[in-house]
Each structure stands twice: as C-alpha cells, then as structure tokens.
Amino acid sequence: MKLKRVRRYRYATRYIRPILGNNVVLSAGLALPFVIGASTSMNNALALTIAIGIVNIPTMIFASLLGKKIPQWLRLPCYVLLASALVVVSRFAVSWIAPNIFDSLGIYLTLLAVNTILLVRGKQVIPQYNFYRAALDGVVTTVSFGIVMFVVSLCRELVGNNTLWGDAINFPIKLPGALLPAFGFILVGLLAAWAKFFRRLVIRYNLRKDNPPRTAAKLPEGEVE
C-alpha cells in the first residue's frame, strides 16, 4: 500500500494539525470543563480564549527553555506556579476587554492555572521543542481551543437564550436546557464525532488517491481480480 500522499499531508500539516484535525479539545479531551461549563455565551468564549492564550503561551515557552533542566517531578508544579501568576495578568486583560465578564466566568478563570492543555502538553511534548516551536504550539492550541469554544458557545447562546454577544436575536427555537452542562457535554460529543469523521475522510481521500481501486481493464495480462 502506498502512503506517499498521506505522509505528505501529515508532514505539511504537522504544525496546524491541532487546530482541526487533532483538535486538543475534541480529539484529546483537554480543557473540557471550560468548554462544557463556561461556553454559555460568545463573550465568555472570547474571554476564556484570550485568557488561556495569555496563560499557556508564555508557560509553554518557559517549558521549552527550562523544561529539561528542571527535574521531572518538579516540572508541573513550576508550570502551575507560573500559570497562576499569568492568570492574574489575564484577569486584568479580560476586565479591560469586557468589565462584566469576569463575574460571569467565576471559578473558570482561576482554573486556567491548572488547565489540562498546559499540563499534558507541557509535560509530554513541549520540553522537546525549541523556543519557536513551543510558541507556535501555544498559539495553535489556543486557536484550537478557541474554535471549539466559539462553536459551542454560538449554539448554546443562540438556542438557549436567543441572543448573540448578549444582543437579542429573533431565533425560532428557544430551549433553555441548552444552557445546562449536560447539553454542553452532548454538543462536545457530537462535535468530536464530526471531527473524527472529517479526519478519516481526509486520510481516506489521500489513501484512495495513492491506491486507486483496480479494475479489470487495468489489470496486467493473466491476472485475475
């Protein structure tokens, strides 16, 4: 079986694969509490995406620069300590963008200090990266988190509240149950299934291009299907 196109596709998308193909939330199940619990409005989605970017990107850069120099058992506590300090910075950034958002986020902003994107990738992946790759990884994982947050928040705010960015919208369906965490779980599950479906579709397309199904007309002489 030829895998040239598949390998070429994987190499070309190696940096941006966490955005759609291997989304950190939908494929790896990271940072789920934020996506399920806090994604009830687009304002929340924007605030949390900015906050997670402020927390994760510098911490990942720190992990790439000093990760290998710190003993393994001390790495995560150091990352969490730095992330906690950055959460304070993100709080001011979020308050500057939208002053009322901070109250509605509640504990979710504080939980960013121990978000699983940072803990899992910071422990397993980032220490092997150089400065630029770590920064890119931070940006890419933030974007991938943001995309899922925005999609889920859009659905839940529109269907649950009939609002968009806090402004009332004339939408025919109103289901207040969409604002409950259970609906968030269901929505994330459905999105994860769709992401897997499209990922497999792309791989299958590339495989088919490299290995087209053989017909009788193309078979060599004497060979039977």
d(CA 173, CA 74): 51
Q: Is 177 in the site for another protein (CB under 8 A)?
A: yes
Task: Mark the segment that binds another protein (CB under 8 A) among 14-22, 112-120, 132-140, 177-185.
Answer: 177-185
DSSP state for residue 212 in the 8-state scheme: P
Nearer to another protein, 99 or 177 (CB): 177
Q: Is 178 in the site for another protein (CB under 8 A)?
A: yes
Contacts of 67 (CB under 8 A, 6+ apart): 75, 122, 126, 127
Please identify which residue in 186, 194, 201, 219 interacts with another protein, judged by CB under 8 A.
186
Number of residues that bind another protein (CB under 8 A): 10
- The residue type of 61 is I
Nearer to another protein, 54 or 178 (CB): 178
Task: Mark the segment that binds another protein (CB under 8 A) among 64-72, 73-81, 92-100, 186-194.
Answer: 186-194
Q: Is 181 in the site for another protein (CB under 8 A)?
A: no
Q: Is 173 in the site for another protein (CB under 8 A)?
A: yes
Please identify which residue in 114, 180, 202, 207 interacts with another protein, judged by CB under 8 A.
180
Nearer to another protein, 84 or 162 (CB): 162
Quick one: which of 25, 9, 15 has its CA closest to 201? 9
Q: Is 175 in the site for another protein (CB under 8 A)?
A: yes
d(CA 170, CA 87): 37
- Minimum distance of another protein from residue 47's CB (angstroms): 26
H/E segment holding residue 79: helix 72-97
- Minimum distance of another protein from residue 198's CB (angstroms): 15
**How many CB atoms neighbour CB 168 within 10 A?**
9
In terms of C-beta density within 10 A (0-12 exposed, 13-18 middle, 19 or more buried), how is residue 167 classed?
exposed
Q: Are 83 and 55 in contact (CB under 8 A)?
A: yes
Strands (E), the chain: 163-164, 167-168
Q: Is 197 in the site for another protein (CB under 8 A)?
A: no
List of residues contacting another protein (CB under 8 A): 173, 175-178, 180, 182, 186, 189-190
